[in-house]
Amino acid sequence: MLEVNAYLTEEPGPRLLVLGAVHGNETCGATALHRLRDGLQAGRLMLRRGTLTFVPVCNPRAYAEGKRFMERNLNRFLVPTENPTTYEAQLGNALCPLMAACTHLLDIHSYPNGGPPFGFVGGHDSEEDALAQSLGVDTILSGWEEAYAATGRQDPTRDPLEGVGTEEWARRNGAHAALIECGDHLDPQAPEVAYRAVRGALDHLGMLPWPERPSGWCSSSPRRVRVDRVVYRDREGMFVKPWRHLDPVATGEVVARTVDGTELCASQGGFILLPDANAALGQEWFYLGREEGT
């Protein structure tokens, strides 16, 4: 069962949906949204306009067990399924109507191996861009869906909808969508980053004023990085060094070696994105990207 919190005002306005713990081991969103719920229910926070809906824990079983997912990644192939055969497919059938009904989506995540918070947008929508800038991040990534489609497993039998996650499904239904990665899974500051991101989004949309917003909260010129390539851990191997998110990489530089000696290299200069040294076989190992305009 999913906990869904919905707050409706008399004034028309945006319909914002906020999601936490789409991946069960990413708990900062749940903590932040429970804090927001408590403030709204106690009357310390009052919505000015529009509709706010949030799901603190989108994958309850994985959240209870501290796992990323139970049977498959909930943030991949997130589309309605007529005959769901996995737990995550059942969750998708419950979540997809919520995403189809919103005008704006904010999805809250964290990631392994440390690094700063950053945002994800589609890259073709000025409203999404403004939403991402309201989250208090210094770096915004784009191009995820195109990179996934172009450089996924390269398997002709792979379903083309496999790369559809929360943002992609919301966009297909007309919403503006942004995702925030709040830092490391275990960073004690990540729940605060998540809470401030939600407050920033609500303030930006004119739904809930944030008079105590930190000065300089929204950057007018965040760094823009475009995701170019997704690399899977299809064979055992290891990174050549302890990469961290947004570490620079040179053209031809070796990123990882598999057990048979194959070297995985950067095809052009740019950045390592979201490296996961503990990725399971068949899962995303790392991404490559470059600053927009280069």
Q: Locate the domains of the chain by residue range.
A: 5-221, 225-291
H-helix segments, 15-165 = 28-41, 60-65, 87-101, 126-133, 144-151
Write out the H or E segment, with its range, that includes residue 114: none
Residues 7-63 have pLDDT tens digits of 999 999 999 999 999 999 999 999 999 999 999 999 999 999 999 999 999 999 999
Residues 138-173 have pLDDT tens digits of 999 998 878 877 765 544 445 556 678 999 999 999
Helix and strand counts by DSSP (H, E) for the chain: 7, 14
What pLDDT does 219 receive? Answer: 64
What pLDDT does 115 receive? Answer: 83
Residue type at 198 in one-letter notation: V
Average pLDDT value for the chain: 91
Topology of the domain covering 5-221: Aminopeptidase (3.40.630)
Cβ burial 200-209 (10 Å sphere, 16+ → b, else e): bbbbbbebbe
Residues 60-106 have pLDDT tens digits of 999 999 999 999 999 988 999 999 999 999 999 999 999 999 999 99
Q: What whole-number percentage of the chain has pLDDT above 70? A: 94
H-helix segments, 175-243 = 190-204
pLDDT confidence tier of residue 215, bands split at 50, 70 and 90: confident
Residue 190 main-chain phi, psi, to 5 deg: -60, -40
* Mean pLDDT, residues 233-262: 94
CATH code reported for the domain at 225-291 = 2.40.50.100
Residue 228 main-chain phi, psi, to 5 deg: -110, -30
* Mean pLDDT, residues 197-209: 97
What pLDDT does 122 receive? Answer: 87
Q: Estimate the crossing angle of helix 190-204 against helix 28-41, to 10 degrees.
A: 50
Residues 218-229 have pLDDT tens digits of 767 889 999 999
What pLDDT does 159 receive? Answer: 56
Residue 90 is classified by DSSP as H
What pLDDT does 117 receive? Answer: 93
At a CB cut-off of 8 Å and minimum separation 6, what does 214 contact?
Answer: 136, 196
What pLDDT does 33 receive? Answer: 98
What pLDDT does 157 receive? Answer: 43
What is the SS3 assignment for 42? coil
